[in-house]
Structure 1
Amino acid sequence: MRDRESQYRVILVDDEPMILRSLKVAIPWEELSMEVVGEARSGEAALALVREMQPHIMISDIRMPGMDGISLMKEVMMEHPQLIFIFISGYGEFEYAREALREGAFDYLLKPIDHDELTETVRKAQVSLQKQAENDKLMNSIQTLSLLARERMFTELIEGSRSPLLDMQWLSHNELDQCWYMAVLQLDQYEKLERKWSRDEKRLWLFAIRNILEEWFEQSGGLTVFPFRSGEWLLLFPEGYKEHQEKLGQELISLIKRNTKLSASIGFSRTMAGMERLGEAYETAVGALYQRFYADSEGVYWAAPSRDSTIEHGSYPKQLEADMLESIRTLDRERMMHLADELKVYLEHHGFQRHAAERILVELSVVLFRQFRHMKTGGDWSLEGHLQDIHVAGTLKDMIVVLKLALERWIQESMTRPAKEDVHSVIHKAQVYIDEHYQKDLAIEEVSEITELSISHFCMLFKQVTGYTFVEYLTHCRIEKAKMILKNSQVKVYQVAPLIGYQDPRYFTQVFKKITGQTPSEYRESASGIDTIKK
């Protein structure tokens, strides 16, 4: 039976007190998981009750002094379109009843009231409410999955990977076809915070910040917001917001600090058009954030019109960056030192001024450091300290020495630390966690936190490794546990559901039959028959 908070709430409306008393005592409300939460003798009083009690069902006389039942229904349904109206009408009021049905009433009954007939009508209303709740739940699930798919798709575009999602027809026209820009919000000194926080503290802080950003975003009219990497969130805005960037940035920084006491900075990309430019936008927004390392406090930063006003377009050493990243992935110290020497030659050959060469070295250092962090081989290293060492170096040669010393130390320490977990072991950790906690109300956020991956990245890798989506795997796990219980115990079917994570036995039965082709009872009978034959 539903608990008090989850009972369906009913309001009775009639100008005759005897009929109200009759309705209240003659219907088995408790048996129907319903509760009469209010009575009214006029349409006006009923309207005030609706606003106070938020009922699911209203049973009302169709003709009353003042506001009649139909006027009441029209008024209420403007604010509560899903509320179910059941009308009671006299024999001479058929035209009123027909109008009520046209306006959206669920049903009507004639006076004198047949209580058995009314009880059956209320049962039908209950079924309608249950279907409505299931549809709402399904729509919420679809919307959640749609948001997850969107985040995953954007993540893949930023990271340069390819997915069938990118070829779906429904993506041919979207809001990113028009001009837009990206903001990247990062918690300042996140590496230090991460070392200080426990896993639960980290999950709570990041969850809190995501909620803050999403609530703010609902009011802002932006395009989307989602976490990308730990301590980092991406926000997309239409181009029309560009003149308000300073205000938006400062507002977000103040909001984070006011609610969490944490410091954050924001980098804005250049204006882009087209979904395929998400990766470029991310690079320019993160590039803007490099300026944070020379500031005394959090701030709002903007991408330069190009990588640097003194650097010709395309002269950033992308190939050297790619080769260095590969050296990190293979922890090839010798190759990395050779590439650092090549970088010095490259910068000398192009004759970059000091601040331009420094900017390239800073950008490259951040990219390489992030790769170490992504591989989870990073030790107790200070990126800020390294960038300051580059800044105070007197010559290009000194800057390169600073870079080489840092890279050599990072690679050496990474080689002596435990090897990076490969994708399969990371996902296996998630599978083990699901297998041990399937009976809980398990959320994807909780499991992705165990792997230390973003939700979108976790979804992508989980599907690649297991062949299942998270929900499919969790469902498969639960149904397998249910089959084991049904086959090896006499636990009643309705008691199996909460044991495997389903609070609604009927929903459990639906899922079980969809997966196995049998109801739980049918499965138990067939499994019992097989065991008998084997014996």
Structure 2
Amino acid sequence: MKVLIVDDEEHVREGIKLLGQWEEHEITDVIEADSGEQAIALIEDHGPEIIFTDMKMPNIDGIALLEWIKENSPSSKTIVVTGYDDYHYMRKAIHFGSTDYILKPVDPSILNDTLIRAVTQWKKEEESRKVHNSSYRLINEMKPIYRDRKLTQLMNNYLLNQSIYEEFGFHLSREYEVGIVRVDEAIIRSFGGDRDLAYFSILNVINEILMTEENGVAFRYLSNKWEIIIIFWNDFESISSLLTALYTAIRRTLDVSCRIARGCKVSSIDQLMKSYGHAKKSLLLSNVLDQNKVKVYSEQDVLASALLINMMDYNSKIEEALQVGKFEAFLPVFNEIITAFEAQNYLSLKQILHFEQEYQVLSQHWLKRYHIPYTVNNGPEYVLSFFYNQDGQFQLAKYVEKEA
């Protein structure tokens, strides 16, 4: 703990410094100020827990200093020291929260009794502050989890009471629209593999913009570990431009590319899942090969008729290639599949996830059949995440090289 002694008379400061039983009360530093101005500077630099101050000083006197301390260093305990047994000073000291009041010349026993009371009171209040800060921090840490859980329930058609809506700034409306922000494994990896940090950071960017616009709320959708959901409740004409702004802000602030999809407008809160379904379809059918700078999609932006190629359809050709006993025999089959992708110049997220899943299943099947050692992959999401560039575009040539 630190003590500050403020008095324009040096001998008074020295007297208090000599008489105080500092070490007995865990005081490690005793500093001095000869004016109110210097006291303020030292308080800002050192943050003393206990402050002894004279009342009659030039310029900034004791009353002005006590007022400043109350405003700027309220946890400090102040002890007024003056040679004037004046009710006016006592009343002012009490008004500005002074712990005690002692007269000059300073009596050693009174000084140390006063010091004990001030230290004891500071420690008690500090313990209370720690408990309060700990509780406040816990509430702040828990609130996003609570928000995500409640709004996930809302998405899944659990109706919430009015107070819950108000708590998250959610507006009841006659119409709603759902957006999906995809947080894939490539993005998680850019945050050092910390999924919670990734969601927290992205949600901060999104909700800061939504709060400004006052037309939506975003949350981590706990039913799908790769998604953030946005629920909009008004100003639907500006949602396209707002989603573009959200994508750009995330890209600029966090240096990650999150694909975003927009759902249809619905007329009641219990139809949110319908809007979500439209957004999900647009997201899955979005072209991972597109070179657009902004990855925001709606039903108008995707090719709903894109052919879904099944690797299982090539199973017999794969078996023939494997029976030849040379890996090169497999390449024509693989190239035939890739050529089908390239011919369309359209590779949907759904297709590449589907293809990688089938590839893993077939690979494990044939490796096991021919007694070839293999390791189980972490799933298609994880494997594919290594083939997106910083702009969120899938690197098909790099993927083909890996598979081949």
Q: Indicate the TM-score class for this superposition, using the shorter chain for normalisation.
A: 0.5 to 0.7
Deviation string 1:122-181 (CA, Å, 9 cap, x unpaired) is: 2222211221222222222233333322222123333x275xxx6566325342125686
Residue 142 of structure 2 aligns with an amino acid whose one-letter code is: L
- Shift of the 186–356 alpha-carbon distance from structure 1 to 2, 3 Å rule, reads closer
| 1:31 Cα offset (Å) | 4.7
| 1:288 Cα offset (Å) | 4.6
2:99 pairs with one of 92, 107, 112: 107
Partner residue of 1:339? Answer: none
2:112 pairs with one of 110, 113, 116: 116
| 1:59 Cα offset (Å) | 3.1
Partner residue of 2:283? Answer: 289
- Which stretches in structure 1 are left out of the alignment for 5+ residues? 1-7, 310-353, 363-384, 417-451, 453-535
- Shift of the 144–27 alpha-carbon distance from structure 1 to 2, 3 Å rule, reads farther
SS in 2 for 1:140: helix
| 1:39 Cα offset (Å) | 2.5
- Which stretches in structure 2 are left out of the alignment for 5+ residues? 310-336, 366-381, 383-404
- Tell me if structure 2 keeps the 8 A contact 1:178–1:273: no
SS in 2 for 1:64: coil
- Tell me if structure 2 keeps the 8 A contact 1:183–1:268: yes
Residue 266 of structure 1 aligns with an amino acid whose one-letter code is: I
2:78 pairs with one of 68, 85, 93: 85
- Shift of the 157–66 alpha-carbon distance from structure 1 to 2, 3 Å rule, reads same
Q: Name the % identity.
A: 18
Partner residue of 2:247? Answer: 249
| 1:250 Cα offset (Å) | 0.8
1:264 pairs with one of 235, 250, 258: 258
Partner residue of 1:95? Answer: 88
2:4 pairs with one of 7, 11, 19: 11
1:202 pairs with one of 163, 173, 193: 193
Deviation string 1:307-344 (CA, Å, 9 cap, x unpaired) is: x69xxxxxxxxxxxxxxxxxxxxxxxxxxxxxxxxxxx
Measure, in 2, the Cα distance between the counterparts of 1:91 and 1:236.
Answer: 67
Measure, in 1, the Cα distance between the counterparts of 2:41 and 2:90.
Answer: 23
SS in 2 for 1:19: helix
Measure, in 1, the Cα distance between the counterparts of 2:121 and 2:202.
Answer: 42
Higher Cα Rg, which structure: 2
Residue 110 of structure 1 aligns with an amino acid whose one-letter code is: I
Partner residue of 2:166? Answer: 173
Asked if 1:36 is matched to 2:38, the reply is no
| 1:40 Cα offset (Å) | 1.6
- Shift of the 12–413 alpha-carbon distance from structure 1 to 2, 3 Å rule, reads farther
Deviation string 1:371-409 (CA, Å, 9 cap, x unpaired) is: xxxxxxxxxxxxxx99x8599399xxxx9xx89x96994
Partner residue of 2:372? Answer: none
Residue 58 of structure 1 aligns with an amino acid whose one-letter code is: I
- Shift of the 177–12 alpha-carbon distance from structure 1 to 2, 3 Å rule, reads same
| 1:70 Cα offset (Å) | 2.8
**Which of 1 and 2 has higher RCO (CA within 8 Å, sep 6+)?**
2
Partner residue of 2:149? Answer: 152
Partner residue of 1:46? Answer: 39
Measure, in 2, the Cα distance between the counterparts of 1:80 and 1:217.
Answer: 36
Partner residue of 1:301? Answer: 296
Residue 88 of structure 1 aligns with an amino acid whose one-letter code is: V
After superposition, where does 1:308-387 map in structure 2 within 5 Å? 355-358=303-306
After superposition, where does 1:167-246 map in structure 2 within 5 Å? 170-171=163-164, 173-174=166-167, 175-178=169-172, 184-187=180-183, 190-191=184-185, 201-203=192-194, 206=195, 208-210=197-199, 212-213=201-202, 216=205, 220=209, 222=211, 226-228=219-221, 229-230=224-225, 232-234=227-229, 242=239, 244-246=242-244
Q: How many residues align?
A: 316
